[in-house]
Structure 1
């Protein structure tokens, strides 16, 4: 593209020029112009940009990457891993992190809707609902979010194995798809797609059932006040390992029912996978409760009494409550590598179990330069694709590109918490030198990052369960009429969990 002198132009003018170049190249399906326009946009000195202008620039660049993706891969089928998808997510996340501090509801909703659609597209369907909900919390009438949420919910429903739960998803999907028809924000092509999907749902279920939204009542009635408050908090924050909690927050979803299906094993194989999933799930729910306790601890714990600590005049804080948050952080981060260990065994990938991590499990010989393992790259398992893309939210030295802007900082925190020196402060002391012997972080900021990990690990466990269900369906198809011997497991009762 022609060289443009931006030196005398204001941020708004620069953004308008960049946006016009992107749209012009899109209309002409000019791949080269799109790529060169992105290069120009990335080279702009944004030091004099205000926060809102930076957000819109990232948003426009993200859109440009989506145009390239659509030109290079025009069909629904696309490679598991593409640079264009990575860049879209990075740009949109950067845009959202900036624009949420600004008073721009429309563009905030646009960005969140795009993120929701993108996450559904890559198999992170649980988190997609979160983005749509964030948007609709800002503007309940945002038509494209309503329609795309219903669209994503429809595809989410197709991985759910429990018929009643699948039906509830279809109910709410249809409700959103139909509601989007009355919005003047939704363009005609999208309206038609949403309408045809609603019709597909109506073909599968009677209309009287689809229109009958149940009142599930109060399942908290018999609980103590403390347990009720805890379960309400989990449901509202969508932290139950239960897909229904992605669309509902009523008491009916206040349980961690999602588990693994019956599995087909050779006669000489140990039935280890249910046990492994038990442990992953127990660690998560325990971490979740510890975090909840920490959030609701308003006075010193008796175990902190008579513990002699010195005030070093740096606003640092120490308590059993904060240790609970640190434990939550540690446990949630550790779950990802344990999931990789599980996947290696379950899919019989044959990787070195002592070197497996959540970032490298997907690649031949655990090395990204060797390319994706064929078992992974050719998968039609949507949840497996979702787990692969979720792994890109984590940082490892060998994997410098992540799609989560905070990934490197979170990895650094984990390193300091586990191996070095880590300190939580009430406020930063600007008088201290900025050295790295001790990692300092504000209390509320550390809580936010821990909550992010809690949500991410919950999604990972959900995808792992769905991965297994889909895989077992395929194994049963391959098995045909061959004889199998069932091995029944019974559910561990609550009163046995001491």
Structure 2
């Protein structure tokens, strides 16, 4: 396997069920799918398409995070020519990749909420997001006996801004998107206000790795929730069902 793939396995960033407990060659690719071992009359292909989109965006996050650690951006930084203000902000391509990864993780989480809402026929509006879709559909979701949904609800609680273990991630994300967040050296004396947030670089990096793993858990839990629901609702008319085989894309092809 490539150095990148070995690193993904070591950091628990693969989308491979076998890879959740073993790092052998079976963990070579992200073969997570909705279709394995499931018989259903529902249009699963639509949801497999959603999963493809989620996997593509998560793959991008991993690559950016990997590049932030192992790619030299000094030439690009020199050419960008930032002003020296003696403000100690860490500003370079590497830190921008870290910031982008953080934002993309939340984008994936919000798409997972829409994914679940579509599958379970839940209400959706322009403000539907990972942190609020459960509360808007609480009665329907809590009436289901589904271990995947229980896991999703637990993750939502972890991101609660008031009481969640990782509630400050949401605060950082809002600062990245709507205000100004500065990454600074660990020796910097933090001084935050309503529009400016300062975060020490080591704290941000450690939190980002955890957020990537958190996002991975949310992807797995979403897939498990849908697969469990499909298994609970087998089609009544097996004569009209058919086996669907999904092949993996061959990236040696030219499109």
Q: TM-score, normalised by structure 2?
A: 0.88
- Cα 1:497/1:336, change in 2 over 3 Å: farther
Q: What residue is the counterpart of 2:116 in the other structure?
A: 343
Pick one of 221, 228, 251 that aligns with 1:463: 221
Cα deviation for residue 309 of structure 1 reads: 1.2
| Structure-2 separation of matches of 1:263 and 1:447 | 42
Q: What residue is the counterpart of 2:130 in the other structure?
A: 358
The C-alpha deviation readout for 1:70-99, integer Å capped at 9, x for no partner, is xxxxxxxxxxxxxxxxxxxxxxxxxxxxxx
| Structure-2 separation of matches of 1:307 and 1:238 | 34
| Structure-1 separation of matches of 2:41 and 2:230 | 10
- Secondary structure at the aligned position of 2:209 is classed as helix
Cα deviation for residue 314 of structure 1 reads: 2.3
- Cα 1:433/1:253, change in 2 over 3 Å: closer
Residue 229 in structure 1 maps to residue 3 in structure 2: yes
Q: What residue is the counterpart of 2:31 in the other structure?
A: 257
| Structure-1 separation of matches of 2:236 and 2:74 | 57
- Cα 1:437/1:293, change in 2 over 3 Å: same
- Secondary structure at the aligned position of 1:451 is classed as helix
Q: What residue is the counterpart of 1:241 in the other structure?
A: 15
User: Which aligned pairs between 1:115-134 and structure 2 lie closer than 5 A?
Assistant: none
Cα deviation for residue 486 of structure 1 reads: 5.3
User: Which aligned pairs between 1:295-314 and structure 2 lie closer than 5 A?
Assistant: 295-297=69-71, 299-314=72-87
Residue 387 in structure 1 maps to residue 149 in structure 2: no
Q: What residue is the counterpart of 1:285 in the other structure?
A: 59
| Structure-1 separation of matches of 2:83 and 2:182 | 14
The C-alpha deviation readout for 1:406-453, integer Å capped at 9, x for no partner, is 31x2111101111111111123443x8553432111111111111111
Aligned 8 A contact 1:315 1:428 in 2:
no
Cα deviation for residue 496 of structure 1 reads: 4.4
| Structure-1 separation of matches of 2:39 and 2:49 | 12
Structure 1, unpaired ranges of 5+: 1-219, 221-227
User: Which aligned pairs between 1:109-258 and structure 2 lie closer than 5 A?
Assistant: 220=1, 228-258=2-32
- Cα 1:311/1:437, change in 2 over 3 Å: farther
Aligned 8 A contact 1:340 1:358 in 2:
yes
User: Which aligned pairs between 1:14-163 and structure 2 lie closer than 5 A?
Assistant: none
Cα deviation for residue 484 of structure 1 reads: 2.7
Residue 448 in structure 1 maps to residue 221 in structure 2: no
Instruction: Supply the RMSD in Å over aligned alpha carbons.
Output: 2.5
Query: Would you tell me which structure has more helix in proportion to its own residues?
Result: 1
Q: What residue is the counterpart of 2:102 in the other structure?
A: 329
| Structure-1 separation of matches of 2:5 and 2:45 | 32
- Cα 1:484/1:433, change in 2 over 3 Å: closer
Aligned residues: 253
- Secondary structure at the aligned position of 2:224 is classed as helix
The C-alpha deviation readout for 1:255-278, integer Å capped at 9, x for no partner, is 211111167456xx6942111110
- Cα 1:383/1:435, change in 2 over 3 Å: closer
Cα deviation for residue 485 of structure 1 reads: 5.0
- Secondary structure at the aligned position of 1:441 is classed as strand
- Cα 1:441/1:491, change in 2 over 3 Å: same
| Structure-1 separation of matches of 2:184 and 2:240 | 62
Aligned 8 A contact 1:234 1:240 in 2:
yes
- Secondary structure at the aligned position of 2:126 is classed as coil
- Cα 1:468/1:425, change in 2 over 3 Å: same
| Structure-2 separation of matches of 1:237 and 1:484 | 40
Greater Rg by CA: 1
Structure number with higher relative contact order (C-alpha < 8 Å, ≥ 6 residues apart): 2
